Structure formats: C-alpha cells, structure tokens
Structure 1
Amino acid sequence: MNLAALFSGGKDSTYSIFEAKNRGHAIKCLVTILASSDDSHLLHHPNVGLASLQAKSMKIPQITISAKSSNTESELESLREALSAAKKDYQIEGIVHGGILSEFQKTKFEGVAKDLGLHVVSPLWKKNQTQYMHLLLDSGFEFIITSVSADGLDKSWLGKKITKDDLVKLEQLSEKHKFNLSFEGGEAETFVVNCPLFSGPIEIQDSSIYWDGYRGRFEIVRAKIKDNAG
C-alpha cells in the first residue's frame, strides 16, 4: 500500500516506517504536525521542527503543518488538512501510526483516517515494550532522550544516546518507579540521530538543557546531516 507516515522524529514514528517498509508498504511521504506547545495530549513536541532534517536524510518528502492551538480538535483538523494534501499529491491509501498503547491517540487518528477513506497501519501496537526497546538497538537505531517528566528520570538522561547498558538501567528504573519503558505515557521523548533508513546520521552541533528540578528538555539548537563519505 502507498502510505503517509505520521512522523515526529522520535523512535516510535521512525521505527514504524522501518517496519512498514519491511512489510512491503511504500512510504510516499511524511506528515508532521508541529504542536503549538508541550501541553498537547496528541502530538510530540520537543525538537519536532528538526524532523525535516531526518526526512531529508531518509529522502522522503514531508508535509508539515503547524497546529493553531494545543486543543485536540484543532490538532486533528491540522492532521486532516495534511492528510488531504498527502492523498491528493502522493495518492496515499493509508497512514502509518507509531503508537504502542495509547487508545486515545489511536482512536483519534483512526477517526480522521476513516473520514478520508484511508487505512491505518500500526506496526508497534501492543508490542512488548522490553522486547521492542531491545529490537530498536539491535536494528541499528540510535536515539537520544530529549525530554523527561517522570520519577526516576533525572537531568542526567537529557541528551543521552541510549546504549544497551542504559537500557538495562532504564528497565530497572521502569520497574522501580512504574513508568512505561517505551515512554508511551509521555514519561520521556526521543529523537533519532541515526538508523538504517538514513543516508547519513544527524550530527548535533549546538544544544541547550532546561531543567526545573523534576522535568526537563534537551533542545537541539543546531544540527546537520553528517556526510558519510570518508
């Protein structure tokens, strides 16, 4: 099927593209909705503006629309507008959704897709979180943590590229503090810096960390696609 991928630049939306392609689907374009604030219940917020760099590295066209507010209906209207454009310009038949557990998000996206006559492909839905996180690293996905907002996740995780050893620590913290290991509940956000889909890795050249004692974010100020040649 010809699909548009709902894309935020995080691990789940990126891996769902990888999985959909492995299943034989064609990803004709990416659809990115820029949340108006981090109050959104539907959209990924930190560093989503840099998803354009990842799209360029994947060599997939991207449709980007800024949501007018953090109101869910307003965000869904922006999504409907973007998917209508994708259907017209790229003849898509469905969308790829990278959700794992959020019934709220899945139901909202399915409603928009149904209105537009589009199928929904959800490659990660109900996946075992521990197996999935290991699969990400085993598949060559490199990602950093760009926000934290849960007990057990402190400032030291911001900007950290997750390794196998880090994953063991995260499993222990997840068990102790009862947060979702995959961060599906918004406990943390991620940004993919390299994966098998990329023509070159994303090199972060400048960044800032904001921390209020409980929650924080890693903001990428400047980045580029690193030339793999030589």
Structure 2
Amino acid sequence: MMRLAALFSGGKDSTFAIYRARQQGHAIECLITMHPAADDSALFHYPNSRITKHLAEAMGVPLLESAVVAGTDRDAEIEALDAAVAQAKSLYRIEGVVNGGIASIFQKQVFEEVCKRHGLVPVSPLWGVEPERYMADLLASGFVVMIVGVSAMGLEKEWLGRVIDRESLAKLVWLSRKYGFNLTFEGGEAETLVLDCPLYPKKRLAVRQATARWDGQRGMFEILEAELLDK
C-alpha cells in the first residue's frame, strides 16, 4: 500500500482511477486539480474543473488546486503540474501519484517524468483498458457520468448534459464504430463529470443550473450552479 495523490478533474477517468487505486489497497491522501486557461490543453480536463471542490468534499479528501495562466504553453503547463505535485509531496508525504491515463503516450510520459523528478511512483490503473469493457465497468460499478463536452463527428448537441446509461452507452458504442472516435474519449472527443459513485459515501452532486454552448461542430455543457445532496 502507498500514500498517493491523485490528479483529479472530476471526469470519469480520473475518478475511476482513484476507485481502482483504492481497490488495490492504496490510500488517497489528496487530490490535485489543474485549472487550464483554455479548452485546448493536451494535459488537463477543461470543462467544469471548478466543480471538483464539491466532489472532493463528497469524497472526503483534501483538494489542492492550481490555475494555469492564460496563454500558457505546454512546457509551462508541465511546470505548473510539477509544482503542484511538489506541494502535495511536501504537505501529505505521498509516495506516488494516480492518473487516469488510458492510451495517451504523451500524457503518460509527462506524468512519469514529473513523478521521477520527485522520487514518486506513477500509478496508472486504467492504462491499456479495453474501451467497451471499461465503459461497461463504469456503469456496473455505480458511476453516474454526465457528458459535459463534445468535439467529435457523430457527437451532436443532444449529448450535452446527458447521463450515460446502458441505452446511451450502446448508442455511443455504435457511433464510435461508425465515426471512428475513441469510446473512452481519451483523445478529447468528449468530456465528462461524475455526479455520483462509490467514492462519494454520503453525498451526490446535483446540477441546478447549466447552459449548453454549441458552435455547430463542438459544444460544452457549462455548469453554473451545483450542490451536494444527501444520498
């Protein structure tokens, strides 16, 4: 068992990675949320990253937040991540860092390099998972996942704000085969937010107000107001 920090966006992959790490016996000492300045970040999840404060509360785990300055290039994003990991190590005596990477070689290399600089173990519980099995495991494990961003052919405005259930997952599988996008959305084809899961023992997230923005090819479901409710 190790004491771990977890890179946490509130999306399905980072959340499920924490779930798997706990199943493996690791202790999650803190969460790290990076707030990118724009939605074209190759490293960090953009839509609704501010909501993680609610989700960290639901999880009962301390949250460290770091904002990435507007106009920041990729190297500066990595430096910001490096500083956040250093802070987590100093405050919580962590031994490793969990990430939700599935197939991105670039992300994997970055996370491994940052961990190496600080003498930490990179933990990637989802690396190489089979997409259809992974998505089915999410539902079977009790994860309530909302789609909050889409940017792939085949994913239209109707998907914004939609919660993935068995019926919609079957539709996503069909669309991913037809249009060739990654079913796990690893390439940014869509972004997600976990409203409820076994990691939230007493509370779940309720979206009170949101707006869908659509430009004809891509869109975002921006959550304007949300709160935690008792289960």
> Could you tell me which residue of structure 2 aligns to residue 29 of structure 1?
30
2 CA distance for matches of 1:206 and 1:5?
Answer: 28
Counterpart residue identity of residue 53, structure 2: S
> Could you tell me which residue of structure 2 aligns to residue 65 of structure 1?
66
Tell me, yes or no, if the aligned pair for 1:39 and 1:70 is still in contact at 8 Å.
no
Q: Give 1:1-230 correspondences, 5 Å limit.
A: 1-68=2-69, 69-198=71-200, 199-228=202-231
**How far 1:70 moved relative to its partner?**
3.9
User: Which shows bigger deviation, 104-113 or 65-74?
Assistant: 65-74
Alignment coverage as a number of residue pairs: 228
CA deviation map 1:97-138 (0-9, x unaligned): 101000001101111110011100100000000000000000
> Superposition RMSD on alpha carbons, in Å?
0.7
2 CA distance for matches of 1:131 and 1:65?
Answer: 33
CA deviation map 1:123-178 (0-9, x unaligned): 00000000000000000000100000000000000000010010000000000000
2 CA distance for matches of 1:178 and 1:19?
Answer: 28
Tell me, yes or no, if the aligned pair for 1:33 and 1:64 is still in contact at 8 Å.
yes
CA deviation map 1:67-109 (0-9, x unaligned): 1244111111111111111111100000001010000011011
Tell me, yes or no, if the aligned pair for 1:4 and 1:31 is still in contact at 8 Å.
yes
2 CA distance for matches of 1:196 and 1:55?
Answer: 13
Secondary structure class of the residue paired with 2:142: coil
CA deviation map 1:12-70 (0-9, x unaligned): 00000000000000000001110011121111100001111100000000100101244
| TM superposition score normalised by structure 2 | 0.97
Counterpart residue identity of residue 178, structure 1: G
Counterpart residue identity of residue 188, structure 2: G
1 CA distance for matches of 2:157 and 2:96?
Answer: 39
Identity of paired residues, percent?
48
Counterpart residue identity of residue 138, structure 1: A
Secondary structure class of the residue paired with 1:167: helix
1 CA distance for matches of 2:214 and 2:186?
Answer: 21
Counterpart residue identity of residue 134, structure 1: A
| TM superposition score normalised by structure 1 | 0.98
Q: Gaps (5+ residues) in structure 2?
A: none
2 CA distance for matches of 1:42 and 1:120?
Answer: 15
1 CA distance for matches of 2:25 and 2:90?
Answer: 22
Tell me, yes or no, if the aligned pair for 1:97 and 1:121 is still in contact at 8 Å.
yes
